[in-house]
Amino acid sequence: MIQLISVMSELGAGTEGSSDGYSAIASASYRHPMDSIDVFDSSNIIKVDTVKSLGIPNPDFEHSKNLNEIVTMYNRISVAIENSILDNKFPVVISGDHSNAGGTIRGLKKSYINSRIGLIWIDAHADLHSPFTTPSGNVHGMPVATAIKENNIDSAINKPSDEIIDLWGQLLGDERRVIPSDIVYVGLRSVEDAESFLIHKYGMGVHTVNELRDRGVDRVINDIETQLDNCDVIYVSFDVDSMDPSVSNGTGTPVENGLKKLEALELLKILASHSKVKCIEFTEINPSLDSKGNPMGEVAGQLLRETINCLNKRLSK
């Protein structure tokens, strides 16, 4: 059975508004009911309590804004994921900003402690920064680095404070949750030098939008399956900025030449049908940035509905 988990924290984002992502999807979905189970039934939703930022810029945290609060969110999200899996549910997460995904990965690793976890990161960005390399200090650019326990000192441009280093260490944990070569990016097209260094160092998979169009989704999926063949569990993280801005402006970091809606849908439906996929996350929906109406909520809602229908078919077998 599917368990919807709402994590409306936007502590890691550079712009406000992604905390309304769940409401935007839910509003759209009420007008287009699911074909089968109503995942928005209150009895089937876990809402993770969010931590409020003080809203006052702290110069000591310029290289990782709101990090203290994000440590708390990682713990809360991890527990929600663990409880869902312990209850034999399939967690589908709707999160505010992408920093929350680090907490999801922690929960998956605690739930599948002896399993090898692979990441399929559908995103315009690599999210591989650390407090040592970040140009912005926004932690939504760091969740993959926390999953692989990576500081990337070789690419350092910052000297974070001792307090940041301590809190960052709490996000990293005692050991890697994911082997770096078990990470595959889809739709990646905005990467900074420090992130490129790690992608090449560890042989992470990268499949661009142009490659999907030239070779077809099925062939790209075959390549992903080959790379993640030794993984027992696969986590799919879908950032809506993987889509082209022509779909909607409702995300904090849009990048040109992204996926069209039908391309994203085809990709998600195939992945939802894969037996190793144990968790899917939708993130960075920001309705405050849409110029008119709720187009990103509508698109994300449709993708969610179709993904859940595929999951239901798979899980009912």
Residue-by-residue DSSP string for 37-61: --TTSGGGEEEPPPPPP--S--GGG
Tokens encoding 23: 């409401």
Q: Are 160 and 64 in contact (CB under 8 A)?
A: yes
Q: Which domain does 291 fall in, by range?
A: 2-315
Question: Which residues fall within 8 angstroms of residue 271, CB to CB, at 6 or more apart?
Answer: 120, 221, 234, 236, 277, 280
Q: Check residues 153 and 33 and name the one with the higher pLDDT.
A: 153
pTM here is 0.96
Q: Are 191 and 213 in contact (CB under 8 A)?
A: no
Whether the per-residue pLDDT at 198 is higher than 50: the answer is yes
Per the prediction, the chain carries an average pLDDT of 93
CA–CA dist 18, 117 (Å, integer)? 27
3-state per-residue secondary structure call for 67-116: HHHHHHHHHHHHHHHHHHHHCCCEEEEEECCHHHHHHHHHHHHHHCCCCC
Confidence category of residue 252, pLDDT binned at 50, 70, 90: confident
- Look at residues 165, 271, 156, 150 and name the one whose alpha carbon lies nearest to residue 218: 271
Cβ of 45: how many Cβ atoms within 10 Å? 15
Separation in Å, CA 219 to CA 213, 270, 272, 278: 10, 12, 17, 22
* Amino acid present at 171: L
Q: At what angle do helices 261-272 and 295-315 cross, to 10 degrees?
A: 20
Burial class for 158, CB neighbours closer than 10 Å (0-12, 13-18, 19+): middle
The pLDDT of 136-161, averaged and rounded, is: 97
Token look-up 């990293």 returns 172
CA–CA dist 17, 134 (Å, integer)? 22
Whether the per-residue pLDDT at 200 is higher than 90: the answer is yes
Q: Are 240 and 283 in contact (CB under 8 A)?
A: yes
How many separate domains does the chain show?
A: 1
The pLDDT of 259-278, averaged and rounded, is: 97
pLDDT recorded at residue 36: 41
The pLDDT of 117-127, averaged and rounded, is: 98
What residues does 259 pair with on adjacent strands? 243
pLDDT recorded at residue 185: 98
pLDDT recorded at residue 33: 59
pLDDT recorded at residue 254: 87
Q: Are 71 and 12 in contact (CB under 8 A)?
A: no
CA–CA dist 310, 168 (Å, integer)? 37
Name which of 56-60, 138-142, 177-181, 248-252 the model is least confident about.
56-60
CATH classification of the domain holding 121: 3.40.800.10
pLDDT tens digit sequence for 10-54: 999 999 999 999 999 988 876 665 544 466 766 679 999 999 876
Whether the per-residue pLDDT at 2 is higher than 60: the answer is yes
pLDDT recorded at residue 117: 98
DSSP 256: S
pLDDT recorded at residue 35: 47
- Look at residues 136, 218, 150, 214 and name the one whose alpha carbon lies nearest to residue 181: 150
pLDDT recorded at residue 249: 85
Q: Check residues 226 and 248 and name the one with the higher pLDDT.
A: 226
What residues does 237 pair with on adjacent strands? 121, 281
Token look-up 């709101």 returns 66
Whether the per-residue pLDDT at 211 is higher than 90: the answer is yes
CA–CA dist 208, 203 (Å, integer)? 15
Quote the Cα angle for 102-65-80, to 5°.
Answer: 30
> Percent of the chain, pLDDT > 70?
95
Whether the per-residue pLDDT at 69 is higher than 60: the answer is yes
Tokens encoding 152: 């990337």
